[in-house]
Amino acid sequence: MFLAINPIAFAIGPLSVHWYGIILGTAALIGLLLAIQEGKRFGMSPDFFMDLVLIGVPSAIVGARIYYVAFKWEDYQDNLWDVFAVWKGGIAIYGALIGAIIAAVIYVRRKGYSFWRIADICAPGLIIGQAIGRWGNFINQEAHGGPVAESFLRNNLHLPDWIVNQMLIEGQYYHPTFLYESLWNVVGLLLLFVLRRRSFLRAGELFFGYFIWYSIGRFFVEGLRTDSLDFTGPSWLAALMNGMWSPMKALGFEPGFMTYGGNVRISQLLAVLIVLAAIALIIVRRRTGAASERYSDPIVRIGQAPEEASGAGNVDTRPDGNKEADVKAKE
């Protein structure tokens, strides 16, 4: 008989270390390394990004929990202590992004930089972090889609045994939605790598591109899941969401059931709104001149002249005054 992967990686006395935590930690570390590497091109200190992660990760956890609890308040209003019981599940990625962005805006502004310039550098780290983090859901056998036949996983998707076996949950196989989203994000990472070297890219647009790409994928993957936060909305809105998701049906996929009996998935609706908002912001910022800076321009502190930054390589962000970084900042 097949045994699922043990979610506990190892134990030290009474302390159990879960694979989920290890995977999330790895995701954060790789995202940080990507940001540090790109930041060096602009003469940014690695310490700046390490501090940003130390502030952003706890803020993301708090934001993710607040988001989930806000939409499921009826489950917590009579037992407030459960609000803090994150080990019982109940966090949301969009809430994590909101929490992390709020913390990043405050931190970056206090350091005297433009949020959009720093957000652009961090965008690839965010999307690869999500790609890796989804494998924590795989280990925990959670955030999966609706039921499927074993033959679909083996013959249609050609998945290896270790993935197929892990998708067998209480005698039933399920859509590996973690895998769909993870692969989508890996492709998105490659796309961001290409975009950030294009001369037409303006400040903030790589960050917006990340949100557009991620939200498109999330919209379609979310429709397969069976644990979505949902609500009962007007019939026209439900019809619109279903119509936009219809290409998945044409490909032979069936939507997962609504967890809470609603007719609109919150993450799907939010994904659509984010895509529209990101596109609108790109257009407005270009037309109003707010996006006059290009991605390749030197990163300067607010109030600092660009020629000062290009000449000094943002020395005030690098205690060692590395002259090699000065040259890279000019390129």
Specify binding-site residues.
Answer: 134
**254 membership: H or E segment, kind and range:** none
How far is Cα 51 from Cα 71, in angstroms, rounded to an integer? 31
Overall residue count recorded for the chain in this entry: 331
Q: Which two tokens stand for residue 26?
A: 């790895």
DSSP state of 152: I
CA distance 19 to 39: 30
**Nearest Cα to 331, choosing from 307, 304, 297, 305?**
297
Give me the helices (H) in the chain, please.
19-40, 46-71, 93-110, 115-140, 150-151, 161-166, 177-195, 205-222, 235-250, 266-288, 306-312, 323-330
Alpha carbons 72 and 66: distance in angstroms, whole number: 10
